[in-house]
Amino acid sequence: MTLLHVATTGSDDAEGSEKQPLRTINRAAELARPGDTVIVHAGEYREWVTPRRGGLSDARRITFTAAEGEHVVIKGSERITNWVNDGGTVWKAEVPNSLFGEFNPYAEEVAGDWIVYPAGAAHKHLGDVYLNGLSFYEAASRADLDNPPARTTVLDNWTAVDDTVRNVEQTQLVWFATVDAETTTIWANFQGADPNAELVEINVRRSVFYPLVPHLNYITVRGFELAQAATPWTPPTADQPGLIGPNWAKGWIIEDNVIHDAKTSAVSLGKEASTGHNYATERRDKPGYQYQLESVFSARQIGWDKEHIGSHVVRRNTIYDCGQNGVVGHLGCVFSTIEDNHIYNIALKREYYGYEIGGIKLHAAIDVQIRHNRIHDTSLGIWLDWQTQGTRITRNVFYNNNRDLFIEVSHGPYLVDHNVLASKASYESFSQGGAFVGNLFAGTVRLEAVMDRATPYHQPHSTQVAGYAYIRGGDDRYVGNVFLGGELSQAYGQGGDGKAVPAYGLTGYDAHPASFAEYLQRIEEQPPGDHQRYLDVLQAVYAKGNVYASGAQPFAGETDPHVIGDATFRVVEEGDEVYLETDLPAAFDQAGFVTVGGRDFERVRFADADFEEPDGTPAVIDVDLTGTRRPAGESAAAGPLSTLASGNTRTRIW
């Protein structure tokens, strides 16, 4: 194993030893071979690191790490100091296009499949301007810079609960740019600051740490601050580069980093371009849904399987101030683990809008483990879309999000256990085949069938497609959860008619059968036929022992629900610590449940699969939010904390 050192005082002609370090991380990446470690010393590095090789196995990795105890920053931006006043608080800088090379973010729009611009609205670009680390907003014209209005950040217009809360007025720091054959001219309103005296940076590079070619496996990136990349819009039907990511490979570890200010997506575990690249937008001949379906089969043809793709680890990172996603991925995220991350301030600038936004937004999250993450102040905490199968969302803390968790057009099995979902909209299901154990739902639950988009399901623990089907809804399991009530601000359709049904509790399932036997009986009562007789029959829902407080209501077919009266749950931040404060009536102490596991659930109907660990053994669900093991065979408190009790309590949950 070779140790290669990099320092801002080094030279790329040096040997790379501690006494004679290299100057750039990219030079070290050219030299590093399987088993080697690149140690980067304190300082600021403005480069896009493009590894040349990968490791050969988990034991023979190539590791890139910040030197112990040293602060290393890698940026996709460059500092600009040639600003000229252009009237009042507006300044102008002329930048030669040679600074950008073949990729000029001020000429590239934020565009692609499923992005939405209002009619007549100016499209945004991948460029950005930063004043002492604070990113600006893009204006539509030079004239708009002279008297910029205060900007109000509002909820997305897709939010199911209340689109008037948490409006935030922000100072409008704005920029505008034009690009000609030789020069990019940038104007910015610095609100009285002198850009030549302060730190002013502009986006230059698309990524910060991202290979140019696929299949560079087993690379570790550890301990860096990674910032300011001009990443493109990353829908599931396109190439999905991020500020950092493996680019269609296997076995990366991205850990202990601070990652921020990606124009769109920070960490990408996504697909590559050969399986489709914005074809719905470019060709306009078929819907994006159809191209996404085709990308699944195209990926299979180029080796999308456990032996070649996925199995990444993203852990203990702090990810914030990104325009689209903290973590994104389609297909390339399979068999991965995303744990112990702090993700916040995602898609809150509202510079653009689209249907691929979230703190974590994954498609085809097969056997992905998402555990013990803190996710707050995002447009949407976690959005799992298509092929959520073998997936587990466990011991996460959600709060102050517009919506906490959304699972779309998936057939399961997926397991959601011991999470705090504390925002006004806790959970939205356009799916079927889930199991929910020991969660706190402090906000609404919204249900919707999707009868016009059939999506794939797989052989268990495999990328092999087993079939595809529409989403009828139901086929869900709820045990030992706590639901909190409140006042709905909007009303939606009735249960069972396919409309969105936000509710406090599980009343949206009331029209569903309460057992598989009852489901089969309803099928037998239909007129003879094949698929037609299944279309209007709702799938079974299995619920028992859940707790309903402050007006939340149980599923009509639930076994032994506990309706306990008024209760309060509050998530409180104190510095880096997060606490759950509760005030519960005495009746809560009678509402415990005995630990359940994968063998205790009915199989998932469409995928014909059970709730299992990634290794195929029955799922074990005996650890609560704080890591406390639930006693086997004994009743413990409902909800995410097995020690929760009546009265006033305060528990640290992060």
Write the CATH number for 114.
2.60.40.1180
At residue 500, the pLDDT reads: 59
Q: Which residues of 341-362 are buried (b: 16+ CB within 10 A; e: fewer)?
A: bbbbbbbbbebbbbbbbbbbbb
Q: Quick one: 176 and 260 in the same domain?
A: no
* CB within 8 Å of 79: residues ≥ 6 apart: 199, 200, 201
Q: Quick one: 392 and 361 in the same domain?
A: yes
Q: Quick one: 180 and 226 in the same domain?
A: no
Q: Quick one: 292 and 341 in the same domain?
A: yes
Q: Quick one: 226 and 123 in the same domain?
A: no
Q: What is the DSSP letter of 612?
A: B
Beta-carbon-side half-sphere exposure of residue 572 (alpha carbons within 13 Å): 12
User: Chunked in runs of 10, what are the mean pLDDT values of the chain (654 residues)?
Assistant: 97 98 98 98 98 98 98 98 97 98 97 93 96 96 88 38 37 91 97 96 98 98 98 98 98 98 98 97 96 97 98 98 98 98 96 94 98 98 98 98 98 98 97 98 97 96 97 97 74 44 92 97 94 94 97 96 96 96 96 96 97 98 97 93 96 98
Question: Concatenated DSSP letters for 331-357?
Answer: STTTT-EEES-EEEEES-S-SSEES--
Examine residue 199 and state whether it is found in any structural domain, yes or no.
yes
Q: Quick one: 383 and 410 in the same domain?
A: yes
At residue 165, the pLDDT reads: 34
27-67 pLDDT per residue, tens: 999 999 999 999 999 999 999 999 999 999 999 999 999 99
As a whole number of Å, the CA-based R_g of the chain is 25
Number of domain units in the chain: 3
Name the pTM for this structure: 0.95
Examine residue 526 and state whether it is found in any structural domain, yes or no.
yes
* Residue of 243, 245, 239 whose CA lies nearest to 271: 239
- In terms of DSSP bridges, do strands 440-441 and 482-484 run parallel, antiparallel, or are they unpaired? parallel
Examine residue 243 and state whether it is found in any structural domain, yes or no.
yes
Domain that holds residue 44: 3-66
589-598 pLDDT per residue, tens: 999 999 999 9
Examine residue 578 and state whether it is found in any structural domain, yes or no.
no
CA distance 12 to 20: 10
Examine residue 569 and state whether it is found in any structural domain, yes or no.
no
* Residue of 27, 31, 30 whose CA lies nearest to 45: 27
In sequence order, what are the beta bridge partners of 459? Answer: none
Q: What is the CATH number of the domain that holds 50?
A: 3.30.1910
418 and 439 Cβ atoms separated by less than 8 Å:
yes
Q: Quick one: 62 and 111 in the same domain?
A: no
CA distance 292 to 236: 7
Examine residue 607 and state whether it is found in any structural domain, yes or no.
yes
Cβ atoms within 10 Å, residue 522: 18
Distance of CA 2 to the CA centre of its chain: 36
Q: Quick one: 166 and 225 in the same domain?
A: no
At residue 502, the pLDDT reads: 83
Q: Quick one: 358 and 287 in the same domain?
A: yes
Q: Quick one: 402 and 295 in the same domain?
A: yes
Q: Quick one: 46 and 87 in the same domain?
A: no
Q: Quick one: 445 and 475 in the same domain?
A: yes
End residue of a domain, out of 66, 98, 113: 66
Cβ atoms within 10 Å, residue 164: 9
Examine residue 648 and state whether it is found in any structural domain, yes or no.
no
CA distance 164 to 490: 12
Examine residue 465 and state whether it is found in any structural domain, yes or no.
yes
241 and 126 Cβ atoms separated by less than 8 Å:
no
At residue 168, the pLDDT reads: 39
